[in-house]
Amino acid sequence: MCATKVVCERDDDQFCQFCTYSKELKIPHFPDMVFPKNRLTLAHKSGASINFNPLDALKRVASTVEPVEVSCSEVWMQARPYAEKLKKSFDWTFCTDYKGSISDNITVWETEESIDFELLKQKNQILFYHDLTLFEDELHDHGVSKLSVKIRVMPSYWFVLLRYFLRVDDVLVRSNETRMFHMLNTDYILREYTSKESSAKDLNMPTSHMKEADDVIPFLPVKEKITHKLHFNCSS
């Protein structure tokens, strides 16, 4: 709840977090759990920066979209033939293709270069690791919608995984993942974005195996995959 109504009516930026989100976002509802103070920021000596935060991620949620229906909706509608079906609604699953927020002095272009996943598999010393949840919603007990970001820093590189995971029980499973990889002796970052999706029936696996993202995502077909090179403009 907003406890400082007078402040929130001002024309400056001294808003409480709830009012900041209400003013910035076009969606009528927020996820059940939003963690506005959870933020991962990566800063380069050139002044370039990348950060991951829930507000910018939720700005990528569609305010009008053909809604995903839960598995029991068809039965409900059949029992109520005179009920009106909404033509348009906001995306109540909070699906986002957010890839992180980058500063203006970073140049982005598409590349054929790929992340060295064999290097990531090596058992090297981990200097730093952290896992942050940006938002999460249980979809009225019909599944889960969750955005999280984790970082691993090694002696020669760092790696970030930003993952949006959606499971609507007995309907569909979707993931939008952004991986960022930076070798410490280079002036660029590789950013790989992969979107996957499948209906629950096409997965041909028990619902219990779809609960955890790590268990089900490897079995989802790829819908989109693109890699970009993020270059630091050191002269800026």
pTM of the entire predicted model: 0.86
Tell me if 80 is assigned to some domain.
no
Average pLDDT over residues 208-216: 92
Average pLDDT over residues 92-111: 96
- Residue 18 predicted with pLDDT over 90: no
- Residue 165 predicted with pLDDT over 80: yes
Tell me if 81 is assigned to some domain.
no
Measured between alpha carbons, how far is 231 from 48 in angstroms, rounded to an integer? 9
Tell me if 194 is assigned to some domain.
yes
Measured between alpha carbons, how far is 188 from 113 in angstroms, rounded to an integer? 12
Average pLDDT over residues 209-224: 95
For residue range 143-155, list pLDDT tens digits in order: 999 999 999 999 9
Measured between alpha carbons, how far is 218 from 88 in angstroms, rounded to an integer? 32
pLDDT band at 64 (very low <50, low <70, confident <90, very high): low
Tell me if 138 is assigned to some domain.
yes
The strand order across the sheet containing 49-52 reads: 40-43, 49-52, 101-102
User: Residue 223, Cβ neighbours under 10 Å: how many?
Assistant: 13
Confidence (pLDDT) at 46: 86
Tell me if 180 is assigned to some domain.
yes
Give the chain's domain count. 1
Task: Tell me the residue range of the domain where 214 lies.
Answer: 15-66+89-232
Confidence (pLDDT) at 209: 85
Tell me if 10 is assigned to some domain.
no
Tell me if 48 is assigned to some domain.
yes
Tell me if 79 is assigned to some domain.
no
- Residue 72 predicted with pLDDT over 70: no
Of 3-17, 42-56, 110-124, 161-175, which gets the smallest average pLDDT? 3-17
